[in-house]
């Protein structure tokens, strides 16, 4: 009888264990809703906004960015110095920095982690962030070639692979400009001075990981000689970080919970003991969850009716504009001011906030001499590209298509986003000049025609405008641009939509004439936008190549005076967005947040949007002044 009951008892036990594991935890102090879950909790492999935001809670780098002022602040490094030639940085690590298991954080942990970011096995999207370090780029190439030669060799055994790895690490130590004279000193040697090097150090990809934990999930493939990395170390109960929070729970595409790390060196920095991030893919469900009180902050409101909600918020701000100005002048934050105002009236609300972002939406203009089909590309002429840009009424697109408070973009770098940097004017809406630019390039509308032709009577080829299907805004903008190019320039446009994967493939292959695009800055320097137009940059999807532009970037990189360097970069961007025009900037991004300032504080409105979970604080916990 017992033997017959055994399977049923085992099944019952499994069900009970599953129920216990799936029991809802007590509500976190702050609950956040976002549309996508984190893709990875491995900082060296991160690239998505939600991942990088989480990284700033689970990990801490050498320095961090103040989310309000964008000032660089000490983190694991309590101090640092730079040599006179700007190439050698020495960081002194605080002795009370600890991992969430109590281990000390050392300079060797940073070297181990940065090495992970450089090796081909990790396939880090931001491996280029390490390339400014002496020998880093060369090591990645060397390691790839070393493993390739081994895989083609005749001896492939565990012992041979182990010797190969030892050789690789020895080569790294000898050639890469990273050194740890002691546990609490990290010395970094750069190829050339990098004015924004501390900004790079603050980027989450350069955060340290806990070597003993990560190593438990790494194996060496004796056939290829390469490391194989299992990312099981990022799971709850196993994960070890050094940030303000530790990972308490992660149910993929459901929820992720973080709780105060008792070993973190600065406990006063942490406002809430626990934060839960819920993945809610449906925008309407997200809004309803917020209105029901089960969510405190929606990180990106995406409902179809968000434009109407933003208008209601704007109406509330207009109603109380004078009082808000007075309170802000007295030193209150905008959220403090909003929280002190009367309840919203009919047609008003104060829980939807449109915040300028450190990013720009644009359309890429194909600059290659020939198109993917082998035919001549008329957009290879910068005059044609200028004409396309000048013929677009961006404000009309914002007012009639977007309707969520975006700002017209005539530049790549959002104006006012970088202290000390003055943006150029760029090209605005000027259809008369657009026609002149097109005529100067050899295309005009002749009497009796409706389409632009050249001197031989050949019509301007139909513009192939590519966009992805994941957002109806792209289609609507494409149709609006099609009509503007037709009416102002006599150009025909064929819009072409593809799923995201196919769209990206065509973008990389240059199979387009005009294609939607966008860029968020990774660090607080103009080069985070300008570098992607360098001839050799891997994000140069437009195929734009200009020795003059490359030389201007090089000149800026060699300039030691900060103010003069920014002036050079201003001229560089002016050349890009007033003459070369490989882009058609449309608008600077904004984020639409949903939170009630009477209930929650700690959300930054700075354009950089360096949001940190450890700053979120329920209003009930805010000290009364």
The confidence score (pLDDT) of residue 21 equals 44
Give the Cα separation of 601 and 245 in Å (integer): 18
Helical (H) or strand (E) element with 173: helix 158-175
Residues 545 and 586 in one domain: yes
Residues 266 and 324 in one domain: yes
In the beta sheet, which residues pair with residue 72? 65
Burial class (CB in 10 A: 0-12, 13-18, 19+), 54: buried
Structural domain contains residue 26: no
Give the Cα separation of 382 and 379 in Å (integer): 7
- Look at residue 4 and tell me whether its pLDDT is greater than 60: no
What's this model's pTM, rounded to 2 decimal places? 0.88
Residues 475 and 575 in one domain: yes
* Strand ranges of the sheet holding 185-189, from the earlier edge strand across to the other edge: 77-82, 88-93, 185-189, 178-182
Structural domain contains residue 586: yes
Q: b/e string for 579-607 if b means 16 or more Cβ within 10 A? A: ebbbbbbbbbbbbbbbbbbeebbbbbbbb
Q: Please state whether beta strands 72-74 and 88-93 pair in parallel, antiparallel, or not at all (unpaired).
A: unpaired
CATH number of the domain where residue 333 is located: 3.40.190.10
- Residues 441/512, Cβ–Cβ less than 8 Å: no
Q: Residue for token digits 């137009």?
A: 533
Boundary-marking domain end, from 199, 229, 259: 229
- Residues 223/151, Cβ–Cβ less than 8 Å: yes
- For residue range 358-401, what is the model confidence (pLDDT) as tens digits? 999 999 999 999 999 999 999 999 999 999 999 999 999 999 99
Residues 386 and 495 in one domain: yes
Which of 358, 360, 359, 353 minimizes the C-alpha distance to 405? Answer: 353
The confidence score (pLDDT) of residue 624 equals 47
Q: List the Cα angle 156/161/162 in 5-degree steps.
A: 150
Residues 416 and 540 in one domain: yes
Lowest mean pLDDT among 7-16, 84-93, 119-128, 470-479: 7-16
Boundary-marking domain end, from 229, 259, 286: 229
Residues 273 and 309 in one domain: yes
Residues 190 and 294 in one domain: no
Residues 189 and 263 in one domain: no
- For residue range 517-570, what is the model confidence (pLDDT) as tens digits? 999 999 999 999 999 999 999 899 999 999 999 999 999 999 999 999 999 999
Q: Residue for token digits 């632009």?
A: 452
Residues 542 and 398 in one domain: yes
- Residues 616/600, Cβ–Cβ less than 8 Å: yes
CATH number of the domain where residue 485 is located: 3.10.105.10
Structural domain contains residue 11: no
- Residues 577/571, Cβ–Cβ less than 8 Å: no
Give 72's Cβ-side CA count (13 Å radius).
21
Note the Cα 320 to chain centre separation in Å: 34
Give 180's Cβ-side CA count (13 Å radius).
14
Q: Residue for token digits 């089960």?
A: 294
Q: b/e string for 422-455 if b means 16 or more Cβ within 10 A? A: ebbebbebbbeebbbbbeebbbbbeeeeeebbee
Residues 514 and 446 in one domain: yes
Structural domain contains residue 327: yes
- For residue range 19-34, what is the model confidence (pLDDT) as tens digits? 334 556 799 999 999 9
- Look at residue 412 and tell me whether its pLDDT is greater than 70: yes
Give the Cα separation of 529 and 531 in Å (integer): 6
Give the Cα separation of 495 and 610 in Å (integer): 36
Lowest mean pLDDT among 12-26, 116-130, 349-363, 367-381: 12-26
Give the Cα separation of 556 and 576 in Å (integer): 15
- Residues 569/527, Cβ–Cβ less than 8 Å: yes
Structural domain contains residue 2: no
- For residue range 568-596, what is the model confidence (pLDDT) as tens digits? 999 999 999 999 999 999 999 999 999 99
- 3-state helix vs strand vs coil in the chain, percent to 5: 40, 20, 40
Q: How many domains does the chain have?
A: 3
Helical (H) or strand (E) element with 286: helix 283-291
CATH number of the domain where residue 205 is located: 3.90.76.10
- Look at residue 488 and tell me whether its pLDDT is greater than 70: yes
Report in angstroms the alpha-carbon separations of 89 from 175, 193, 194, 196, 584: 17, 10, 11, 12, 39
In the beta sheet, which residues pair with residue 480? none
The confidence score (pLDDT) of residue 23 equals 58
The confidence score (pLDDT) of residue 357 equals 94
Residues 324 and 363 in one domain: no
- Look at residue 10 and tell me whether its pLDDT is greater than 70: no
Residues 326 and 392 in one domain: no
H helix intervals, 24-106: 49-58
Domain span including residue 516: 358-590
Cα torsion through 249, 251, 257, 258, rounded to 10: 60
Which of 94, 83, 95, 107 minimizes the C-alpha distance to 180? Answer: 107
Structural domain contains residue 144: yes
Structural domain contains residue 16: no
Which of 234, 312, 244 minimizes the C-alpha distance to 51? Answer: 234
Structural domain contains residue 15: no
């Amino acid at each position: 009888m017992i033997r017959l009951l055994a399977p049923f008892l085992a099944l019952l036990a499994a069900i009970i264990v599953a129920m216990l594991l799936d029991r809802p935890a007590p509500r976190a102090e702050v609950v956040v809703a976002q549309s996508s879950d984190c893709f990875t909790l491995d900082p060296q492999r991160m690239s998505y906004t939600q991942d990088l935001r989480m990284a700033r809670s689970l990990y801490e780098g050498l320095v961090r960015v103040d989310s309000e002022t964008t000032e660089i602040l000490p983190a694991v490094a309590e101090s640092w110095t730079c040599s006179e030639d700007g190439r050698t940085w020495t960081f002194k690590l605080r002795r009370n920095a600890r991992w969430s298991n109590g281990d000390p954080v050392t300079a060797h942990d940073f070297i181990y982690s940065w090495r992970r970011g450089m090796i081909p096995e990790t396939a880090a999207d931001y491996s280029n962030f390490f390339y400014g370090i002496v020998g880093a780029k060369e090591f990645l190439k060397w390691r790839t070639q070393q493993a390739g030669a081994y895989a083609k060799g005749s001896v492939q055994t565990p012992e041979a692979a182990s010797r190969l790895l030892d050789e690789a690490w020895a080569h790294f130590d000898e050639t890469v400009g990273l050194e740890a004279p002691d546990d609490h000193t990290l010395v970094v040697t750069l190829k050339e001075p990098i004015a924004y090097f501390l900004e790079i150090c603050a980027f989450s990809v350069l955060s340290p990981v806990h070597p003993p934990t990560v190593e438990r999930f790494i194996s060496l493939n004796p056939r290829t000689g390469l490391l194989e990395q299992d990312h099981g170390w990022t799971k709850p109960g196993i994960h070890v970080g050094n940030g303000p929070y530790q990972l308490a729970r992660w149910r993929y595409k459901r929820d992720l919970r973080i709780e105060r790390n008792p070993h973190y060196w600065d406990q006063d920095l942490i406002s809430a003991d626990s934060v839960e991030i819920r993945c809610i893919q449906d925008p309407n469900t997200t809004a309803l969850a917020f209105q029901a009180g089960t969510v405190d902050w929606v990180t990106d409101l995406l409902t179809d009716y968000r434009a109407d909600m933003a208008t209601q918020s704007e109406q509330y701000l207009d109603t109380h504009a004078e009082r808000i100005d007075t309170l802000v002048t007295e030193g209150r934050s905008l959220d403090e001011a909003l929280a002190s105002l009367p309840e919203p009236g009919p047609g008003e609300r104060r829980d939807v906030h449109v915040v300028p972002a450190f990013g720009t939406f644009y359309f890429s203009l194909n600059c290659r001499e020939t198109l993917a089909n082998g035919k001549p590309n008329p957009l290879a002429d910068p005059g044609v590209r200028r004409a396309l840009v000048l013929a677009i009424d961006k404000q009309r697109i914002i007012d009639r298509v977007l309707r969520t408070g975006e700002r017209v973009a005539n530049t790549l770098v959002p104006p006012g986003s970088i202290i000390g940097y003055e943006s150029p004017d760029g090209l605005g809406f000027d259809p008369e000049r657009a026609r002149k630019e097109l005529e100067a390039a050899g295309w005009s509308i002749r009497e009796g025609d409706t389409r632009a032709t050249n001197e031989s009577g050949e019509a301007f080829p139909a513009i192939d405008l590519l966009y992805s299907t994941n957002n109806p805004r792209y289609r609507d903008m494409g149709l609006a641009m099609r009509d503007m190019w037709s009416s102002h320039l006599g150009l025909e446009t064929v819009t072409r939509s593809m799923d995201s994967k196919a769209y990206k493939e065509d973008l990389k292959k240059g199979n387009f004439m005009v294609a939607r695009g966008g860029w968020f800055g990774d660090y607080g320097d103009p080069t985070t936008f300008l570098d992607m137009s360098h001839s050799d940059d891997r994000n140069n999807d437009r195929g734009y190549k200009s020795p003059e532009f490359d030389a201007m970037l090089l000149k800026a990189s060699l300039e030691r005076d900060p103010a003069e360097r920014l002036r050079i970069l201003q001229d560089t961007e002016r050349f890009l967005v007033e003459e070369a025009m490989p882009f058609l900037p449309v608008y600077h991004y904004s984020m639409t947040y949903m939170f009630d300032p009477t209930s929650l504080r700690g959300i930054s409105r700075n354009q950089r949007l360096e949001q940190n979970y450890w700053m979120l604080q329920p209003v009930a916990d805010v000290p009364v002044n």
